């Protein structure tokens, strides 16, 4: 009965077929020659036909032996594939995923982590939320698996993939005199007070560059190191600010804050997922990257679609 053939017998058979000799196969597998002969005898019995024929000093495969060899190689190939899959699963079950993201990415990344953790409940995720400069520092120190940022480094060789649009807009209190105006001239902003992010912030860099390029001098009255705190300050009447449109993700523009329709805005930007070009990503990190660029991106697009088109 063929089913009585064992994997061990097939392995011995394959070694003989490949090396053309019982002696060499025995050496290769660290077995004695009588053991090898015994294994082949049992396999031959299971197959019901001779597998080899000896002509002179040489050993030849019979037709049956040839067929057994083909299947043997298939099985061996499938077993190594299985081995890889099992290693991946094991890696995924026990893995850690370390992410470092800029402040605005917190408006979409945590939402994507839910379905991902559901699928791979054994993965422990740590999420650092900080500004662009600090994310770049962590990247150069190789502290995390993947990084999401808006201002890629120019002094480092990285792998870089865009994820989503991250436009910057002028945010004002709902009752601001300009709230109902359309196509407000950029120069008009010079009459307003502004709240700015801290230095090291990617938003701040982009905003400063934008106003400089357009030769508009804005009046910055305050610096705050948090998008959420800036929103509170705007509601409190301290001034306007240029922030990511995504900071209104939960409340939309029907809440206490609104987006002003200013000439030249939004400032178009993107979120990128980045890692050092020469980094060997872990199985977990590769899996998350694949998820992020495919399903994750779709989830984020759906959840941010509404806010992106809300006036």
Residue selected from 9, 39, 166, 287 as contacting ligand PGA according to rule CB under 6 A: 166
Q: What is the x/- site pattern for ligand PGA, positions 219-258, by CB under 6 A?
A: -------------------------x--------------
Do residues 200 and 133 lie in contact, with contact meaning Cβ atoms separated by under 8 Å? yes
Binding segment for ligand PGA among 97-105, 185-193, 247-255, 296-304 (CB under 6 A)?
Answer: 97-105
236 class by beta-carbon count within 10 Å (0-12 exposed, 13-18 middle, 19+ buried): exposed
d(CA 166, CA 143): 25
d(CA 47, CA 40): 10
Do residues 293 and 161 lie in contact, with contact meaning Cβ atoms separated by under 8 Å? yes
d(CA 36, CA 30): 10
SS3 at position 267: strand
Does 139 sit near ligand PGA (CB under 6 A)? no
d(CA 5, CA 48): 11
Shortest Cβ 203–ligand PGA spacing (Å): 4
Residue selected from 131, 241, 258, 287 as contacting ligand PGA according to rule CB under 6 A: 131
Shortest Cβ 167–ligand PGA spacing (Å): 10
Of 10-29, binders to ligand PGA (CB under 6 A) are none
**Bond preceding residue 303 cis, omega within 30 of 0:** no
Shortest Cβ 15–ligand PGA spacing (Å): 60
Pairing of the two strands 168-173 and 124-130: unpaired
Which C-beta is closer to ligand PGA: that of 95 or that of 202? 202
Residue selected from 26, 203, 242, 247 as contacting ligand PGA according to rule CB under 6 A: 203
Does 196 sit near ligand PGA (CB under 6 A)? no
* Element containing residue 277 per DSSP (H, E): none
Which C-beta is closer to ligand PGA: that of 68 or that of 274? 274
Does 65 sit near ligand PGA (CB under 6 A)? no
Does 100 sit near ligand PGA (CB under 6 A)? no
Shortest Cβ 180–ligand PGA spacing (Å): 27
Shortest Cβ 227–ligand PGA spacing (Å): 7
Angle between helices 33-47 and 7-19 (to 10 degrees): 110
Tokens describing residue 259: 């987006």
Binding segment for ligand PGA among 72-80, 100-108, 230-238, 253-261 (CB under 6 A)?
Answer: 100-108
Tokens describing residue 270: 């993107």
Which C-beta is closer to ligand PGA: that of 131 or that of 241? 131
Where would I find the H helices in the chain?
7-19, 22-28, 33-47, 63-94, 109-119, 132-140, 202-213, 227-235, 283-291, 297-309
SS3 at position 216: coil
Residue selected from 44, 132, 241, 258 as contacting ligand PGA according to rule CB under 6 A: 132
Of 146-165, binders to ligand PGA (CB under 6 A) are 150
Residue selected from 44, 201, 241, 304 as contacting ligand PGA according to rule CB under 6 A: 201
Which C-beta is closer to ligand PGA: that of 40 or that of 102? 102
d(CA 280, CA 204): 33
Q: Which residues bind ligand PGA (CB under 6 A)?
A: 102-104, 131-132, 150, 166, 197, 201-203, 244
């Amino acid at each position: 009965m063929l089913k009585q053939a064992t994997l061990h017998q097939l392995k011995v058979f394959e070694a003989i077929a490949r090396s053309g000799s019982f002696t060499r196969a025995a050496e290769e597998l660290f077995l004695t020659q009588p053991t090898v002969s015994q294994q082949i005898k049992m396999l031959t019995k299971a197959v019901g036909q001779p597998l080899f024929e000896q002509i002179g000093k040489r050993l030849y495969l019979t037709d049956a032996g040839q067929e057994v060899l083909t299947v043997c190689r298939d099985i061996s190939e499938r077993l190594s594939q299985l081995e890889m899959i099992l290693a991946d699963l094991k890696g995924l079950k026990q893995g850690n995923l370390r992410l470092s993201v800029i402040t605005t990415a917190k408006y979409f990344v945590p939402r994507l982590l839910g379905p991902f953790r559901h699928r791979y409940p054994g993965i422990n995720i740590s999420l650092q939320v900080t500004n662009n400069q600090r994310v770049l520092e962590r990247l150069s120190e190789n502290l995390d698996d993947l990084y999401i940022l808006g201002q890629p480094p120019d002094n480092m060789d990285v792998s870089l993939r865009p994820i989503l649009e991250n436009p910057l807009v002028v945010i004002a209190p709902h009752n601001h005199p300009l709230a109902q105006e359309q196509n407000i001239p950029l120069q008009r902003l010079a009459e307003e007070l502004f709240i700015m992010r801290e230095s090291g912030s990617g938003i701040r860099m982009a905003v400063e560059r934008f106003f400089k390029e357009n030769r508009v001098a804005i009046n910055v009255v305050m610096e705050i190191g948090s998008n959420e705190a800036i929103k509170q300050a705007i509601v409190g009447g301290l001034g306007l600010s240029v922030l990511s449109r995504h900071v209104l993700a939960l409340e939309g523009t029907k809440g206490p804050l609104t987006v002003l329709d200013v000439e030249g805005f939004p400032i178009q930007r993107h979120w990128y997922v980045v890692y050092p070009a020469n980094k060997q990503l872990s199985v977990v990190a590769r899996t998350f990257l694949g998820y992020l660029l495919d399903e994750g991106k779709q989830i984020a697009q759906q959840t941010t679609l509404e806010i992106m088109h809300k006036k």
